[in-house]
């Protein structure tokens, strides 16, 4: 951590900064996941199949994957406050454009554009949060900022789904754009401009890509987290077609996912501060079990509610991997922190794609649980490899 960024504000100022950053996470989380709850509505409005709507999710995720490393590298010249303001303003514009998209092809393009600032925003926000607390409290500080995206799963996504069902899916993206503009105002007001902040160079940021543990950690997120997105992306049609619920109940079940995500997010920060990297193995094992049970649970409203709550708990993986990347990246933290969300959005693209293949092949909507469990186990294997190849404290890293 740079010495200049290690200046810690008082508790009240730190809370206001975390709140401002969390509102941005709320906007991004609502924008990212709103399409999942509105899949049947978008499908009907644009005259395309629901698996094609799944490609809109993948387009956004691809934007995150492309934007996170590029913006992190070239944004290294900027002060963190300025970079956060630019990223959230760009995100707001992308979502307003999505709301006005005339057709499927243009919506695909605007979803890609909206995803570009996602990873860099969360990466820089995590670095700001971690810089304000002692080292042994970093994971919990990051998890507090990430409460924005998990609260979006509890409130923002169901609200956007309800608004889209009541009026039009376009209003959901308009709402997201408006929240993005609110974030710009809050960050401008509460995050102070630190002229002493040491900025990095693009070449130094790129040194993170030479570290094996960085790539293994990114692999855990890209593969292990795909299972959650595999189930969540097709949750609305699963609830309607398998559980037999009316579409008006979809926001209620999505709220259960949000509760699980909030609990999982806080648990993930707590676990990492106590177990360090070992926490990742426990979370992935939990995830595999929960996903295997999803096909059985989907046939009853009561069991599907509990199952969706548990699937949301897989978000516990996010804070540990975020701090792990900041540790193994050494002095190239911006790129590594932003790339964490690029990895998660590789998962966000991979999960719906593999789930859609299984559904199209005739295995049914609940096959997403089996596919997801396989992905969680894949992440667990990469975790085991990372533990095996982890250098001792006295040794360097290749």
pLDDT tens sequence across 331-386: 666 677 777 777 887 887 788 888 888 888 888 888 888 899 999 999 999 999 98
Of all residues in the chain, the percent with pLDDT exceeding 70 is: 88
**235 CB-near residues (< 8 Å, 6+ apart):** 36, 37, 250, 253, 254, 257, 308
**347 CB-near residues (< 8 Å, 6+ apart):** 61, 221, 222, 223, 224, 225, 226, 228, 229, 375
Residue 185: which pLDDT band, with cuts at 50, 70 and 90?
A: very high
* Mean pLDDT, range 319-342, rounded to an integer: 75
Q: What's the pLDDT score for residue 350?
A: 84
C-alpha angle 238/115/352, rounded to 5°?
25
Q: What's the pLDDT score for residue 5?
A: 44
> Looking at the predicted structure, is the pLDDT value of residue 2 above 50?
no
* Mean pLDDT, range 255-272, rounded to an integer: 83
Closest listed residue to residue 320, CA positions, set 287, 275, 286, 290: 275
> Are the C-beta atoms of residues 80 and 197 closer than 8 Å to each other?
yes
Tokens 């089996």: give the residue: 370
* Mean pLDDT, range 150-175, rounded to an integer: 82
- Average pLDDT over the chain, rounded to whole? 81
Of all residues in the chain, the percent with pLDDT exceeding 90 is: 15
362 versus 198: the higher-pLDDT residue is 362
C-alpha angle 255/260/263, rounded to 5°?
125
**270 CB-near residues (< 8 Å, 6+ apart):** 139, 140, 143
Closest listed residue to residue 287, CA positions, set 330, 331, 229, 233: 229
| Element containing residue 313 per DSSP (H, E) | none
Q: What CA–CA distance (Å, rounded) separates 393 from 285?
A: 27
Question: Which CATH number is correct for 3-389, 1.20.1250.20, 3.30.70.1020, 3.30.1380.10, 1.10.3720.10?
Answer: 1.20.1250.20
> Looking at the predicted structure, is the pLDDT value of residue 289 above 90?
yes
Q: What's the pLDDT score for residue 241?
A: 83
Q: What's the pLDDT score for residue 288?
A: 93
* Mean pLDDT, range 156-169, rounded to an integer: 81
**395 CB-near residues (< 8 Å, 6+ apart):** none
Q: What's the pLDDT score for residue 379?
A: 92
Structure-token pair, residue 7: 């200046």
> Are the C-beta atoms of residues 247 and 240 closer than 8 Å to each other?
yes
CA dihedral 286, 24, 332, 279 (to 10 degrees): -20
Q: What's the burial of 15, exposed, middle or buried (CB within 10 Å: 0-12/13-18/19+)?
A: middle
> Looking at the predicted structure, is the pLDDT value of residue 179 above 90?
yes
pTM above 0.95, yes or no: no
Closest listed residue to residue 298, CA positions, set 240, 352, 362: 240
Task: Write the pLDDT tens digit of every residue in 34-92.
Answer: 777 777 778 777 777 766 777 787 788 788 888 877 887 777 677 778 889 999 999 99
Residue 3: which pLDDT band, with cuts at 50, 70 and 90?
A: very low
């Amino acid at each position: 951590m740079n010495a200049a960024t290690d200046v810690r504000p008082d508790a009240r100022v730190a809370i206001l900064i975390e709140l401002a950053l969390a509102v941005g996470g709320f906007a991004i989380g609502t924008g990212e996941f709103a399409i999942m709850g509105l899949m049947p509505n978008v499908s009907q409005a644009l005259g395309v199949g629901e698996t094609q709507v799944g490609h809109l999710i993948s387009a956004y995720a691809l934007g995150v994957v492309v934007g996170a490393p590029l913006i992190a590298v070239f944004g290294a010249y900027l002060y963190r406050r300025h970079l956060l303001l630019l990223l959230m303003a760009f995100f707001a514009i992308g979502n307003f454009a999505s709301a006005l998209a005339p057709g499927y092809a243009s919506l695909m393009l605007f979803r890609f554009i909206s995803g570009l600032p996602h990873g860099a925003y969360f990466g820089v926000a995590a670095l700001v949060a971690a810089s304000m607390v002692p080292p042994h409290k970093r994971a919990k500080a990051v998890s507090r900022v990430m409460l924005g995206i998990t609260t979006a799963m509890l409130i923002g996504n169901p609200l956007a789904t309800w608004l889209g069902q009541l009026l039009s899916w376009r209003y959901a993206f308009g709402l997201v754009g408006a929240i993005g503009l609110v974030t710009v105002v809050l960050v401008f007001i509460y995050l102070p401009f630190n002229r002493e902040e040491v900025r990095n160079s693009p070449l130094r940021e790129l040194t993170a890509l030479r570290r094996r543990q960085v790539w293994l950690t990114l692999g855990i997120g890209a593969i292990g987290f795909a299972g959650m997105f595999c189930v969540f992306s097709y949750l609305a049609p699963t609830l309607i077609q398998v559980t037999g619920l009316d579409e008006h109940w979809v926001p209620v079940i999505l709220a259960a996912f949000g509760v699980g995500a909030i609990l999982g997010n806080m648990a993930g920060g707590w676990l990492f501060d106590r177990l360090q990297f070992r926490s990742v193995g426990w979370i992935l094992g939990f995830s595999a079990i929960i996903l295997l049970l999803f096909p059985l649970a989907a046939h009853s409203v009561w069991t599907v509610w509990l199952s969706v709550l548990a699937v949301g708990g897989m978000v516990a993986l996010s804070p540990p991997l975020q701090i792990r990347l900041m540790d193994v990246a050494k002095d190239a933290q911006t790129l590594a922190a932003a790339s964490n969300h690029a990895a998660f959005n590789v998962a966000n693209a991979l999960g719906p794609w593999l789930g859609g293949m299984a559904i199209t092949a005739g295995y049914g909507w609940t096959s997403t649980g089996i596919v997801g469990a396989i992905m969680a186990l894949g992440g667990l294997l990469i975790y085991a490899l990372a533990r095996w190849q982890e250098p001792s404290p006295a040794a360097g890293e290749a």
